[in-house]
Amino acid sequence: MDIQWFPKTAPGVVSIYETNITLNKVVCDYFKDAYSTLIGYDKSNHLLLIKSLNKEEATLPKYSTNDLHSISIKPTYGRINGKGIIKNLAKFYPLDFSRKSLYKFDCEWDASQKILKVNLEREVL
């Protein structure tokens, strides 16, 4: 018998709704120790960036409270709420919630910088 066993693997997926960003279980595991997040956009690479900050990092004077976004981690998903975040993102990436209720994207974790890179050119269908 020639058996090939398959490891348990699931892709990291980020869903963008009109009012929040939702992380699947695979992705929210990277944020389990996060106290807060920074959210930005890399124009040249079309990446939504979500940086994990612990409490010590979040309280550094280089970050204002306007820069920080809270994150809630549940057993099966993580969520960053804020319609303003989505409106800012829509300035760079076309999001039409009258046409679609959500957008899903592939992502990858950069462990050295503690940044999740959401590739807006790789929508998951």
108 belongs to a structural domain: yes
Structure tokens belonging to residue 32? 């389990």
Q: Residue 19, by phi and psi: left (phi above 0), alpha (psi -120 to 50) or beta?
A: alpha
pLDDT of residue 3: 93
The number of distinct structural domains making up the chain is: 1
pTM for this entry: 0.90
Is position 61 within any domain?
Answer: yes
Does residue 62 lie in a domain region? yes
2 domain residue, yes or no: no
Inside any domain, residue 91: yes
pLDDT tens digits, residue range 36-48?
Answer: 999 999 999 999 9
Q: Which residues contact 31 (CB under 8 A, 6 or more apart)?
A: 23, 37, 52, 71, 73, 78, 116
Residue 59: Cβ within 10 Å count = 12
Q: Which domain covers residue 76, as residue numbers? A: 13-123
Query: Do 22 and 105 contact (CB within 8 A), yes or no?
Result: no
Q: What b/e string do you get for 23-36 counting C-beta neighbours within 10 Å, with b at 16 or more?
A: bbeebbebbeebbb
pLDDT tens string 9-32: 778 999 999 999 999 999 999 999
**What residues are paired with 103 via a beta bridge?**
16
Identify whether 5 is part of a domain.
no
Q: Say whether pLDDT at 8 is over 90.
A: no
